[in-house]
Amino acid sequence: MTNENVLEALKNVTYPGFTKDIVTFGFVKSVEIEGSKVAVVIDITSSADEVKQQLTADATTELKKLGFADIEVHITAPQAPREQSNTMSGKNIAPQIKNFVMVSSGKGGVGKSTASVNLAIALAMQGKKVGLLDADIYGPNIPRMMGLDEQKPEIIGNKVQPMKAYGVEVMSMGSLMEAGQSLIWRGSMVMKAIEQLLRDILWSDLDVLVIDMPPGTGDAQLTLAQSIPVTAGITVTTPQEVSLDDSRRSLDMFQKLHIPTAGVIENMSGFICPSCDAESDIFGMGTSQAVADEFDTVLLTRIPIEPAVRVGGDTGQPVTYHKPDSETAKRFQEAASQLWTFVEKVNAEGGADNAAVQPTTPPGVSACSM
């Protein structure tokens, strides 16, 4: 009996709730055979006991068919957090994805989609396997911003193949609808749509899925937190007090859902003149630092008003990819690096609520402004 025989048998073990098997998902990490004894290590992304029990039973059944008398099935899984919550309860309807980053905002119009697009591209440029999910059901802008507004995704059976741009897998409700079509849906339909965008999309084995959320703190956010273990949350705001008030609600939501908060991105923070590169204070700068301190998190970066950002968003040529030497691109790259440091820390601590990176001075923020 060989390892190949064992792996072929384990292809009959499907991951609970999915049609793919544990070998295809890449969850079988090792196989050791010694005479009539076999030991298998299966590394999964869910800490739910029922998932472990079902996989153990199914794998044991398949291995018995091969004639092994002594069977050991070891299931390794993320450590369950000390305090159970919606988002950290072990449920994961997209287990092939290692990390989930929720990009949220208390109000619309603050540049949340711009931040999501450029963070995703920056992570991909840094060598990560990245997906970008546009969960803003009522206002899906990601297809245009990623240059995919004229494309439609491929349907494979009852699943949907994500589109690709700039090294990122992309899916949006806007790509599944006619251009300009409005969705007049109740909350229950929005909740179901978000579940399907996670479950019925053929996402590959991603290092991280960046999720562009609708503004506010409603059904969409709660559904997402109940469906997957969100690794990190980011709040996008602008410097004005009206926006900061709503950002506090977004950060409070992260706390109540026990989502580790990676930090705050202050968008439209100063204006960089395209002629002289001077930075001017139009809407205010650095005001988000106090809010970040209030919620024991960090100001990841300040993104200035730079004409190239607007042009890139409108033409599907994101600034981080097409203008890598611009100040905005550099700041998104640094924010992505800080985000990944935070993600690694959360994973090392098993999703602990107190995961945090040490505050650093983000690009464009002087010590005196902090």
CATH number at residue 56: 3.30.300.130
Would residue 218 count as lying in a domain? yes
Q: Are 62 and 143 part of one and the same domain? A: no
Confidence check: pLDDT of 97 > 70: yes
Number of domains in the chain: 2
Q: Are 65 and 179 part of one and the same domain? A: no
Q: Are 68 and 106 part of one and the same domain? A: no
Can you give the residue range of the structural domain that contains 11?
3-76
Would residue 312 count as lying in a domain? yes
Q: What is the pLDDT, as a whole number, of residue 89?
A: 46
Q: What is the pLDDT, as a whole number, of residue 215?
A: 82
Q: Are 308 and 275 part of one and the same domain? A: yes
Q: Are 110 and 35 part of one and the same domain? A: no
Would residue 81 count as lying in a domain? no
Mean pLDDT, the chain, whole residue set: 83
Q: What is the pLDDT, as a whole number, of residue 315?
A: 92
Q: Among 41-45, 48-52, 128-132, 312-316, where is mean pLDDT lowest?
A: 48-52
Q: What is the pLDDT, as a whole number, of residue 367?
A: 33
Residue given tokens 């800080």 in the structure block = 338
Task: Calculate the alpha carbon distances from 51 to 6, 206, 328 in Å.
Answer: 21, 21, 43
Q: What pLDDT, in 10s, does the model give residues 271-325? A: 877 777 777 777 777 788 999 999 999 999 999 888 888 898 889 999 999 999 9
Q: Are 145 and 25 part of one and the same domain? A: no
DSSP 224-281: HHHHS---EEEEEE-SSHHHHHHHHHHHHHHHHTTPPEEEEEEEEEEEE-TTT--EE-
Give the whole-angstrom CA distance, residue 115 versus residue 105.
11
Q: What is the pLDDT, as a whole number, of residue 46?
A: 61
Tokens standing for 328?
């905005």
More confidently predicted of 36 and 286: 36
Please say which residue of 76, 91, 124 terminates a domain: 76
Give the whole-angstrom CA distance, residue 236 versus residue 119.
12
Give the whole-angstrom CA distance, residue 277 versus residue 62.
65
Of these ranges, 39-53, 84-98, 206-220, the one predicted with the greatest mean pLDDT is: 206-220
Q: What is the pLDDT, as a whole number, of residue 188?
A: 62
CA neighbor of 259 nearest in space, from 234, 277, 281, 285: 234
Would residue 330 count as lying in a domain? yes
Q: What is the pLDDT, as a whole number, of residue 106?
A: 78
Q: Are 241 and 133 part of one and the same domain? A: yes
Q: Coil, strand or helix: which one is 35? A: coil
Give the whole-angstrom CA distance, residue 29 versus residue 184.
46
Q: Are 125 and 183 part of one and the same domain? A: yes
Would residue 361 count as lying in a domain? no
